[in-house]
Amino acid sequence: MDTSIDVLTVLEKGSLSLKGEFLWGSNYTFLSQVAYESCTLMAVYKPSRGERPLWDFPAASLARRETAAYLVSQGLGWDLVPPTVYRGDGPVGAGSLQLYIEHDPEYHYFNFDAADRQRLRPAVLFDLLINNADRKGSHVLKDEAGKLWLIDHGVCFHVEDKLRTVIWDFVGEPIPADLCAGLERYANSLIDSNGKLTAAAKPLLNYLSKGEVRAMIQRAEELVQAGVFPSPDPFRRAFPWPQI
Ligand SMILES: Nc1ncnc2c1ncn2[C@@H]1O[C@H](COP(=O)(O)OP(=O)(O)O)[C@@H](O)[C@H]1O
Ligand SMILES: [Mg+2]
């Protein structure tokens, strides 16, 4: 691939051709080839029209949440979510388009080795921050270079507590200082001293409501204040189903 053109540009401007459908997700999810000038790459296209309706999330909002999750990952500087854009002009309508990560689908959270499990603190904090209602074991991928990636962020950012995750490895542990500082810095970048959302929050508002952005900032502040990884809420289902 021509490295002078970045992945985001290809995702934003490339022409899409559908190559196949992933059968295991809950929504219509297509493997797509994206071509722009001399570059082609593979990406995962999730059209809003293919979203299964949910009682607790507004209709056709999941692809926007996928895109917001990428912006948050970048805003934190943690680089957890593959490059993701929102395309208004996908072949079957508006949807999210995310870089496809080559990985071994047989290697996932439930059989990660101890060292890989230890690498999941940023992932756990990210899920707490975005209020992920569906962190399954197979939605943490390890690419061929050994980097870990997080995927499937359609049901995130609700204003009410919805956290459901399989990753409870760090309950009660102090949040490492650098990660705590990262959360604090990010939250502070989104809101000014008068409580107004800043220009840095603007891109998020293309995909989330003001209330959802404010709720995220509040979750960051609470995490920083607590300074420890929380335990599962005993009064709510804390694990997704299925777990894998
Ligand atoms: N960026 C990605 N890179 C590689 N595989 C992906 C990516 N996104 C999705 N997949 C594959 O597609 C499957 C379905 O995607 P997922 O995001 O879980 O969709 P759904 O919203 O339908 O649950 C995943 O389990 C994974 O195998
Ligand atoms: Mg899924």
Q: What percent of the chain has pLDDT over 90?
A: 91
Q: Are 218 and 157 in contact (CB under 8 A)?
A: no
Please write the tens of the pLDDT for every residue from 211-229: 999 999 999 999 999 999 9
Taking the CA of 28 as reference, the closest ligand is 1
Spans of the chain, pLDDT less than 70: 1-4, 24-25
**Residue to mutate (ligand 1; options 44, 70, 109; most atoms within 8 A of CB):** 44
Residue 5 pLDDT: 77
Q: Supply the residue whose CA is at minimum distance from atom 17 of ligand 1.
A: 152
Amino acid identity of residue 223, one-letter, is: L
- 66 in ligand 1 pocket by Cβ < 6 Å? no
Q: What is the pLDDT of residue 27?
A: 79
pLDDT in tens, 131-166: 999 999 999 999 999 999 999 999 999 999 999 999
CA distances from 187 to 25, 197, 222, 229 (A): 32, 10, 11, 18
